[in-house]
Amino acid sequence: MATEDEVSEFLSQNRETAAWAESLRGACETDKLWRHRREFILRNMSDFCVVGELPQNLDSNHKGLDRLIAYSMVWCNHVFTGCRYPHPVMEKVLKMAETIKVIDAPVRTTRDELVSKVKKRGIASSNEGIEDEHFKKQRSADGTCMKTAGQPSNVVTSCSDAQRTDAGYYQPATQERRNSRECNQQTVKGQLQSSVNTINVPRRLTSEDIKGRQSFFNRLYKTVAWKLVSAGGFGPNLNHSELLGNSIESLKSTLDIAFVPLKELADLPQNKTSLENIVCELRCQAVYLGMGCGKTKENAKAVASREAIKLFLKKKVVVRICKRKYCGRDVEDLVLLDEESRSPNLPPALNNPLDLI
């Protein structure tokens, strides 16, 4: 993710991650600043959170994400508002942002550069006077500056009223300023916690999701059985799509059909012929029934329907919670199986199953 285009492409292919990252954006954060801070967070996510998983239970304090957010704000404050921090903190964030290219960052004159220019001109002036004038202009241009405590995991705090020494540390403020700083600290902390709490924790499937659906599929099992008898049994000349669709409609439900080009499913074994370029997935009441490939949508639907009908040739069908691949990661799904099936080898899902329930 070294360029903006690569970040945009990554987020377009990982919509759940994109939505999660967007929840970390500050309410008053500009598009430009957020674009760079978002890249900083995404590039360093694996060092602070479990690889392949978004942080869970963030409302109970996720220390890794808290640290990453603090580092991202430190880096943006340094790049875009000219703030300086203790050397270990600066060294850490600059290393974390080594491959991030910022071509439109503002350019500012440091105190040392200003003093050097004054000396070259031969102007007689004390360091104190130069420092005061410089920081008046700096505060006027930037509004506020930000700082962190010695431990980088702490929350970023506002320090617009404090003065800074040559090394980047801050001089003690008056009691009134300290009170103001503590108030600002609580405000920023609240904003960070609010952002953290807005991340949606993925829903987990339970036995309650199975109960009502199992009752429906028990009735569907009997309906399909009667229609198979009327059609002369299961065979190659049977219109599997029509039989399955009519059986489901007779129970006042619908057959949900999804199609995707075979080449777009990276997790699907590429052992099909070049003619089988369409994948069809069948569901009913958000329960996966079967999948098939074909050269047309009708062919793919027919293959998927035949695989689904095969389930009803067993003694009993059951709805179970199984793991399937979706966008390269494991997700939970409701799957219809025969009662003897133990560890089914399921193909990847075309859509996120949890979005369908």
Min mean pLDDT across 87-96, 180-189, 330-339 is at: 180-189
What are the E-state strand segments in the chain? Answer: 146-147, 157-158, 256-261, 278-284, 287-294, 317-326, 329-338
Which H helix or E strand runs over 337? strand 329-338
113 pLDDT band, cuts 50/70/90, is low
Average pLDDT over residues 203-209: 83
Average pLDDT, integer, range 252-269: 81
Q: Is the pLDDT of residue 125 over 60?
A: no
Specify whether the CB–CB gap between 143 and 132 falls below 8 A.
no
CB 279 within 8 A of CB 293: yes
What pLDDT is recorded for position 204?
A: 81
Report the C-alpha gap between 167 and 163 in whole angstroms: 12
Contact 329, 227 (CB under 8 A): no
Residue 172's pLDDT is 43
pLDDT band at 173 (very low <50, low <70, confident <90, very high): very low
Confidence of residue 310 (pLDDT cuts 50, 70, 90): very high
For the cut 70, the answer to whether the pLDDT of residue 148 exceeds it is no
According to the model, what pLDDT value does residue 99 have? 85
Q: Which one is predicted more confidently, 149 or 98?
A: 98
pLDDT at position 30 is 86
Q: How far is it, in rounded angstroms, from Cα 177 to Cα 226?
A: 82
Domains of the chain, CATH where assigned: 4-197 (no CATH), 207-356 (3.30.160.20)
- State the chain's mean pLDDT as an integer: 74
Alpha-carbon distance of 169 to 154, in angstroms, equals: 16
Average pLDDT over residues 180-204: 52
Residue 110: the pLDDT is 60
